[in-house]
């Protein structure tokens, strides 16, 4: 069960939520976190179309202090509470022109 304490400054999340994570078939590194298994109704159609088929990846108990690889657990919980889902996109790749071979050398 998720409990939000809304203050003027920020939201505090006190409990946990069982989350279901799905991998995008079209966008490598994109994942959707849902509060209910196979319940894609909260995801807008435009986003669902861009992600393609969503394949179940894992289920776990998410708490605000749980360490996630690339996401802030409190943000994930807040997005699920507010929107019904959390979308994790792959990190942006910074190309350094000094270290990459751009094919411009003769």
Tell me the pLDDT tens digit for each residue of 59-80.
Answer: 999 988 888 888 889 999 999 9
What's the whole-number mean pLDDT along residues 8-13?
Answer: 43
Cα radius of gyration rounded to whole Å, the chain:
17
Query: What architecture is the 4-88 domain classified under in CATH?
Result: Roll (3.10)
* CA distances (Å), origin 51, targets 4, 20, 41, 42: 29, 16, 14, 14
* pLDDT exceeds 70 at position 105: no
- Does pTM top 0.85 for this prediction? no
Report domain extents, the chain. 4-88
What's the whole-number mean pLDDT along residues 40-50?
Answer: 95
The answer to whether 73 and 66 are in contact (CB under 8 A) is: yes
Tens of pLDDT along 22-39? 999 999 999 999 999 999
Locate all alpha helices (DSSP H) within the chain, ordered by sequence: 45-51, 73-83
């Amino acid at each position: 069960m998720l409990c939000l304490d809304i203050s003027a400054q920020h939201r505090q999340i006190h409990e946990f939520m069982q989350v279901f994570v799905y991998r995008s078939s079209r966008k490598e590194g994109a994942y959707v976190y849902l509060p209910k298994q196979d319940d894609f109704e909260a995801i807008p159609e435009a986003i669902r179309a861009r992600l393609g088929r969503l394949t179940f990846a894992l289920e776990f108990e998410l708490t605000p202090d749980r360490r996630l690889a690339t996401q802030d657990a409190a943000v994930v919980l807040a997005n699920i509470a507010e929107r019904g889902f959390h979308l994790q996109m792959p990190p942006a790749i910074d190309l350094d022109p000094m270290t990459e071979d751009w094919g411009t050398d003769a």
